[in-house]
Every structure is written in structure tokens, then in C-alpha cells.
A and B are shown apart, each in its own frame.
Chain A
Amino acid sequence: MTEVVAEPKIVGFLCNWCGYAGADLAGTSRLSYPPNIRIIRVMCSGRVEPAFILSAFENGADGVLVAGCHPGDCHYRSGNQYAEKRVEKTRKLLDLLGIGSERLRLEWISAAEGEKFASVIKDFTEKLRRMPSPAVTSSKKAKVSSVVENESIHDVLKRTKALYCQECGKCSSSCPITRVRPDASPRLAVEKALMGMEEEVLLDKGLWSCLTCYLCRQRCPLDIEYDELIRTCRAKAAAHGIVGTCSHEGILITLQRLMTQPKIKQNRLGWLPEEAKISQKGEILYFTGCLPYFDAVFDDIGVKSVEIAQCMVKILNQSGITPVVLKNERCCGHDLSFSGDLESFAELAKANIADIKKSGASRIVTACPECYRTFKLEYPEISKSFDFEVMHSSEFLAELINEKKIVFPEKFDKIVSYQDPCRLGRHMGVYEPPRQVMTSIPGIELVEMSRNREDALCCGVSAWQACGQHSKRIQVERLGEAKGTGADLLVTACPKCQIHLNCAMTEKTATKHVDKVQTNDLSVLVAKAMNLIPR
């Protein structure tokens, strides 16, 4: 017991009927095994979400064991099959993060297999001992930002101009959430805050339903910065330990927080096509964002997010550009910033800024409007010297088309419609470049949905918060609008819009009729039109 610190810590999720009973038997049989495991009993191994596993690693575990019943023995018929799929998904994420899939074990241990349990623990502990430890340096969750604590709610109202509110209700009658969920409204939030009811504001579930889609701010005659008000109130709420209901049990938020780990060495370039030319130093940096992670998390809804990155690199190469793609690029931090964790956001930002500076790039191109917004608006606040030219893929592609560096060899006959992403459109005012790109492709006809540009309807979820029936209703409505245009294809310029709209189409619980619309990211559409990938 001289090197307690170096001893690996294992978190075991054991199913009540088999794994846990097996551990029990090991104990009653007085079998000896290393004391490195901390056991969490779950009713079924199928209950173990990828988020639980990542959370264990985030909190300092060196290994995670999931133990369930042997195939065919599940007490809920198919729970262990789910477990297998989920563990598989989590392995991919662990590999991407550089934590390593070998730190996660799935074992079938029956109630009669006390011996097996003991030997699994022995073996796992041995293996973990040989790995460099620890996997991550233990971190506190949801760190409190001192900036937020020092600013009173009145100061926030003043800073966001909410003190000017005339309570006219233009925001609330525009808000897509309020229309489906009247208790959550920007006006009511401001009203409560104005009356000094800080507690009510911070405890309000509506605080987390807000899409920060900017529609209310776009229309507010007083230019009240609701998005900023919500962002700050969320951080204040988080400081009191109040958090929202994260989609997918918070896996994406946890992933982003894991990326704040200074020692983390990700393996995030596996998606690069073989022939792709990239570099670690150069003029133009392509910022991938979370696409490789999305690909692993959302493999079941038929969206290939990483295709966007692959197409972008192909297009750039084809135009004679060898972009910098960072090996250890971290999430831009947008979702952390909009879910109250400003400290972790700042850590991600600082790490990215350092890496970007090292690359010697002067221009950053990204296909993600959230990265775009974060780089343009928030990074310069973190670091004054963040003075790179930031371009969204649509702007960059439009420029390449203008310079005749992109040529379309043949007609691409398609009727397309376009989903304006909130971050790109209303937040940053980029409406025309994506349209220029689409309409410059010969054969493409662009038909607009009735709500477009400033009036566009959000895809229903933001910052992975509070996805639920309200989000689905918004998505179903939007898909109906897209279908109504008669377009063959709905083009998006945000990977998340694509994920959310596709999710609504595959949602098993959706009772309402959902219109099916094929979606493509703008860069994928361009790559198809350039014949870089099959049409």
C-alpha cells in the first residue's frame, strides 16, 4: 500500500441480476480480488448511458467495467444488447478522446460466476496498472465563474439593456418555444428579473428551454440582448448548482468538458480521406469542430456529420489549398458557454487559441456556425490578440467560386431549400453567402421556405439543452415547411441543424406525421456538384 496514488481506480456498473449477483457471490465465496473497483448497481446493463461512463472518467476513474447478463439471459429480454451497442459507441468516443477504448470493459458475468468476476477485476486492474495513469486529471464539474458571481441580476439587466423593456410582448409572440410552451417566455423572464425575483428566474425550467435563437432579439424594438441575458442567467444558475436537462444525458457537454483536460491527446484525424493533404502549419486553418464526435454519437439517426469535414478538405485540396487541420483541436466551447460553464469554456478557448497561433494560420475556416460565432464574438474577449480572419464555409466557398477556383463540371439538377442556422443568420448576419454558393451551381434551383433569413425557424435545440416534445414540434413544423416548398433537398449550413432535423424524422416516439426530407450540408452539396463524391 505504498503507492496508493498510482493504484488504478475502476468504476463498475453492475447489473442487478447477473453482474452484481456475481460480485456478491465472489464476496460470499471469500474470493480475493484487488480492491480497486467501486461498484454502482444498476437494474440492467442497458441502463448504462455513454454519458455515465464518460462522467466516471471525468471524475477520475482509470477504467470502467460494465457487467451484465450473458446474451439471451437478460431479465428485460434485450437490455444487454443495448448495453453492447452503447459500450461500442462509447469505445469510439474514448478512442477519439485519446483516453483509449481499452479502459472500458464490457463483461457478461452471471450470478453463478463469482470466479469470473474476481478474475476480470484482477486482469483489468493488472492491465490498467500497465497503462500510463491517470486517464484524466480529476476535475470538478461545472466550475463557477467569478465574473458571474460578481455581477448582480440588476447589473445583468442593465448590461443586456433589459431595463428598457416595454413589456410589449413582441419577443414572446415571436418565440418558437413560447408558442409551444407558454410558461417559458423571454418577456416573463425579463419581467421576473425586473421585479427582482432572481431565484424564480434561475430556478425556472424555461431558462434552459430557450434556444437562444435570437428571433426575439432580432425583433425586439429595444434591442434587448436576450441571448446574452439567458447565457449569463444560466451561468448564474450553474453557480448555484442548478443545471438544465441535457440531451443524451449530457454526453456532449461531458465530452466538451473532458477536452479541457490539459493532458488530453485526441485521435481526431481518423476521418481524413487517404488522399487528403493537410498540414500542421500554413495560411488557412480548417476547424473541424465536434464533427468526429457527432459521427460516433449520432450513428443511429443516419447523419454522417464527418462527411462535412471530409468534403471541406476535398474541396480545399481541389482548389489548391492545403489546410491546417489541428491534431488536438478542441471543441470551440460554444455549448459550455451557453449552458452555464463559463470557466470550462474559457479553458477550451485558451487551449484552442494557443494551438491556432502555433499553426501560423491567418485565416480560420469552419463549417460550423457555432464555432464561427464563438471565434468571432467570444474568443476576442478571452484573448485580445485573437485577431484571425474567421470565415464560415459558406463565405469561403462563395469566395472560391467568385475567384473561379471552384468549377462545376456539369449540371446538378436539384430543387433545394435552405435552413438558415440561427448562429450564422440572425446572430452573425450571414444570409446571402450560402445562397450565392447554391445558386452558382448550374442546375440548382433554390426555393425559399416562407420563414427565411431573419424570420427563419430554429431547428429546435441549442447547446444540447432541454430537447423534448417542444423541440420535436418545432422540428416537425419546420420539416413540413421544407416539404411544402417542393424541394428535393433541404440544405443546411450547420451540422447541428442537420442532426436535429434528421432526429425528428427518425424519432420513434413521434406520434405526429413527420414529413421526410433529405438533408445535405452545404459543403457536401458543393462536393457533389464538383463530382468529388458520388451524387
Chain B
Amino acid sequence: MSEKPSVLVIGGGIAGIQASLDLAGRGFQVYLLEETPSIGGRMAQLDKTFPTMDCSICILAPKMIECYRHPNIKLLTYSELKEVTGTTGNFKVKILRKARCVDETKCTGCAVCAEHCPVEVPNEFDMELGMRKAIYMPMPQAVPRAMTVDKENCIECGLCTKVCKAGAVDLKQQPQDIELNVGSIIIATGFDQFNPVSIKEYGYKSYPNVLTALEFERWVCASGPVGGHLLRPADGRRPKRIAFIQCVGSRSLLKGGSPFCSSVCCMYATKEALIIREHEPDVEVYIFYNELRAFGKGFQEFVNRARDEWGVKYIRSRPGEIREDSKTKSLTLWYDDTLTREIKTLSNVDLVVLCPALVPRQGNRQLAEIMKIELDDCGFFKAKHPLFAPVDTTMPGIFVCGYCQSPKDIPDSVAQASAAAARAAEALALVQVGGAQ
């Protein structure tokens, strides 16, 4: 093998980015595969991070740019994994690069094309709260900074082609198959959000003032659909009372629910509560929790600060139901205050934020089949040994990190990404010295 030993990283979220940077820094060739048009993942969607209250994209964007500029990293965005054969040290990988219809090398990201595009569709990056065009960049900090044509919604009017001064748009572009030889693979596919529509008593999607946590992150984010103002989705009025409901679909034995704890909701709800109080100090914030799981470094202190200094009210209960006043669109929550054992209502709630289970991605099953590795009962990638080989999958040479391995927050994902990178480096080094199993 004359060329540099290389590795495929699947998933361009914070875990995938960290693993890529680590391996690239050691001189390995990294292919970073991402199915959406930009790397960044879930962290890019967040407004802030806990417990430090950093602006999420502000600390993530430099890492994204670094990935783009690193000579040892090749970004394969808007791409899908199709086939994996071979064994550790010598995997043959087939990847489909979907037709972006824009030449990444030519596009400057000026977005003039999007101004002219007549088709508007909900923006997935903004959790479909805002709109985008059929030719779009999911977010201002997108990496690579190139437009993408959404062929499903494109009407092929050709306006974008005409207005592009760089001549980057090519609506006739065809999908491309590429084949790579890699010594190792790291999976970092992250999570999906459980859809709380099935929990009918909370009225998600039928009451406009009920949002999920990720929607709320976009809603209050300065780059989000309403420019970061705290508003009621129903009528744009300023809210006075906001409630968070924890464990929506998580720690549940129902069909479609998740038996496990998503591990981050208690903390991000607290963070979002602080964001609210920072925006509008007079808004009352309630967090309905079950067990407050503030287990990390500085977490309990963070919760204490939210409660004592910022006046966030914590109530131990899962509300039974939410009812909407059909005229005012305000919400009433019925709950059993389990510490005092009283059945109470909280009325005139302007906004309810549901904290749904964060679940392994749907696509994991297909990926597992392609790579012939195992998933656990919940759909997470199965570790070779839960204690001593947490980043090894059931197939030598394939490693896993981030939420797709088990529920975890950003620092843990980053730490695990570095661990997976180290394990992958070990496998690659064995190839170099010719000692691959």
C-alpha cells in the first residue's frame, strides 16, 4: 500500500468531526461522510451548550472549517454509504455522492440563486419551522460553503443557472459512485428525535404553542426562523409562562417509545430555561421532571444556579395532559405534584417545550447490514464489550462513537470520538507495519 493509510468516518456531527481531526492530525487520510449538504450535525442546530452556556455554533464552526481546510480530510457531504466489503486494514467502500447540482469548487455561497428560486419548502435544519428555497444552504455557517439543489422539490425552471455568476449550478449533474480503500471505519451517526405526535395528550402538532426541544433551540437561536426572539408560535406574542416536560417518550415501555434515559434532557432543559430568563427575565419557567439527572461535572451546580439564582421552578411530575384554550391558544397542564401529592393545574402557559426521547437513527439498521455489524435492542451500535471495548463494534476495524453508541452529551461524545480515533489509529498502524489480523 503506497498511499497513506486511510479511514472512513460516517457522520459529520461533533463526534465525527473530532474523530476526523484527531486522525488527520496523526497523518492519516480521512474521508468524512455526511448525508446532508453540510457537516455540523445536531450541535450546529443548538443555540447554546450546557453547562458553560457557550454559543454552540461559535465553538463548533472553527472545527468545521478546520475539517474543510485540513489537507488530510476529504469531505464527502450529501453522500451515502452503499457497500462495504473486506476486513480490517482493507475495506472496500462504495459511496454514492448524490447530485448536489452545484459545483462545490466553483460555488462561492453568495446565495443569489436562492433569492431567485421560486420554490419554498420547510427548512429541515430549522426543524421545519422556517422556510428555505429549493436551492439552498442549510445554515449560514455551512461547510462546505456551497449551495445544494433539492431535486425533489426543484421545478427545473433554470433561474438559478442563469443568475449564478460563478457558473456553478448544473441541474443536469448526475449522482456519482465512488470507491475507496480504507483501513478502518468510524461510525458517528448521532440521533433522531422521537416524534411526540403519538403522545396525543400533549397535543404536539395540533397545538401550535407546543414545541419540541430541538424546535425550541432553533426558535430562540439568533440564526433561527424568527431571529432569536422569544415568541409564541401561535401568534407571535411575548410569552409570560413557559413549561418544559421531560421524558417524553423516553424511559418508556410503550411501543415506539424508548426504554432508556436520553441522558441530556434534564440539562438542556435547564440550559434552555436559562436562555429564556436571559432573553426575558420576567418569564416564568417551569421544568416538569421525573428524576433530575444532573450527573456530570458542574451539572448539579448548574441546576442549583438555575433554581436559586435564576428562579427556574422544578416540579417533579410528568403532566397527564395539556389542554388548549381554543380562543387564546394558551395551554393548561394537568399534573400530579408528586412531592406534595396534589393534583394541580398550571394554566395560561404560553409555550410548552417537550423534551422527547433522543433515539438512534433509523438508518442505523441499514448501515449495520451494510457493515455486517450488530445493533443492540434499542438500535444503538453494539459495543464489542460494554466495559472494556466500548468503541469497538462487533467487527474488527470498525469503531463507533457519539450518541449512536449510547446516549451521551457533547463532552462525552468528543471524548469518545478521540477514543475511537485512537482505536482506529491502532488498526491503521497495524496495517502500516503489516500486522493486520
Q: Which of A's residues lie within 8 Å of B, judged by CB?
A: 161, 164, 166-175, 178-179, 182, 185, 187-188, 219, 221-223, 450, 453-455
Contact = CB atoms under 8 A, between A and B. Distances in A.
Nearest to A222: B253
A109 B433 CA distance: 115
Nearest to A166: B290
A223 B253 CA distance: 6
B343 A450 contact: no
A223 B254 contact: yes
Interface stretch (B58-66, B83-91, B111-119, B330-338): B330-338
Contact of B252 (A175, A178, A179, A221): A221
B336 A172 contact: yes
A70 B190 CA distance: 86
A221 B321 contact: no
Contact of B335 (A166, A167, A169, A188): A169
B251 interface: yes
B341 to A, nearest CB: 7
Interface in B296-343: 317-321, 323, 326, 334-338, 341-343
A187 B290 CA distance: 14
Interface of B: 200-201, 247, 249, 251-254, 257, 290-291, 317-321, 323, 326, 334-338, 341-343
B252 A169 contact: no
B99 to A, nearest CB: 42
A171 B252 CA distance: 14
A183 B239 CA distance: 35
B318 A170 contact: yes
Given A168-B318, A188-B341, A219-B320, 18 more contacts: A167-B338, A169-B317, A172-B336, A173-B334, A174-B201, A174-B321, A178-B336, A179-B343, A185-B343, A221-B247, A221-B249, A221-B252, A221-B257, A450-B323, A453-B200, A454-B200, A455-B201, A455-B321
Contacts of B336: 169-170, 172-173, 178, 185, 187
A166 B343 CA distance: 17
Given A169-B317, A223-B254, A174 B338 contact: no
B253 A168 contact: no
A223 B252 CA distance: 8
A46 to B, nearest CB: 40
A174 B320 contact: yes
A161 B254 CA distance: 12
A173 B253 contact: no
Contacts of B341: 182, 188
A169 B291 CA distance: 12
B337 A221 contact: no
B320 A222 contact: no
22 contacts: A164-B253, A166-B290, A168-B290, A168-B338, A169-B317, A169-B335, A169-B336, A171-B320, A173-B321, A173-B335, A173-B343, A178-B343, A179-B343, A182-B341, A185-B336, A187-B336, A187-B338, A188-B341, A219-B320, A221-B253, A221-B318, A454-B201
Contacts of A168: 247, 290, 317-318, 338
B197 to A, nearest CB: 12
Nearest to A175: B320
A169 B251 contact: no
Contact of B321 (A182, A219, A222, A453): A219
Nearest to A216: B320
A454 B252 CA distance: 18
Contacts of A172: 320, 336, 343
B401 to A, nearest CB: 29
Contact of A166 (B251, B319, B342): B251
Given A172-B320, A172-B343, A221-B251, A455 B200 contact: yes
A169 B200 contact: no
A164 B183 CA distance: 45
A173 B254 contact: no
A334 B19 CA distance: 62
Contacts of A164: 253
Contacts of A170: 317-320, 336
A222 B252 contact: yes
Contact of A174 (B247, B253, B257, B334): B334
A161 B321 CA distance: 22
A219 B252 CA distance: 11
Nearest to A174: B320
Closest 8 CB pairs of A and B: A169-B336, A173-B320, A174-B320, A168-B318, A221-B252, A172-B336, A173-B336, A170-B318
B281 to A, nearest CB: 30
B254 A169 contact: no
B338 to A, nearest CB: 5
B248 to A, nearest CB: 9
Of A164, A172, A179, A453, most buried by chain B (CB within 10 Å of CB) is A172
A173 B200 contact: no
Contacts of B247: 168, 221
Nearest to B338: A169
A222 B257 CA distance: 9
A169 B321 contact: no
A174 B319 CA distance: 8
Nearest to B250: A221
A143 B247 CA distance: 44
Nearest to A170: B318
Contacts of A187: 336, 338
Contacts of B338: 167-169, 187
A219 B201 contact: yes
Contacts of A182: 341-343
Contact of B318 (A169, A179, A185, A453): A169
A172 B318 CA distance: 10
Nearest to B324: A450
Contacts of A222: 252-254
A166 B259 CA distance: 12
Nearest to A454: B200
A226 to B, nearest CB: 13
Contacts of B343: 172-173, 178-179, 182, 185
A222 B258 CA distance: 10
A15 B257 CA distance: 63
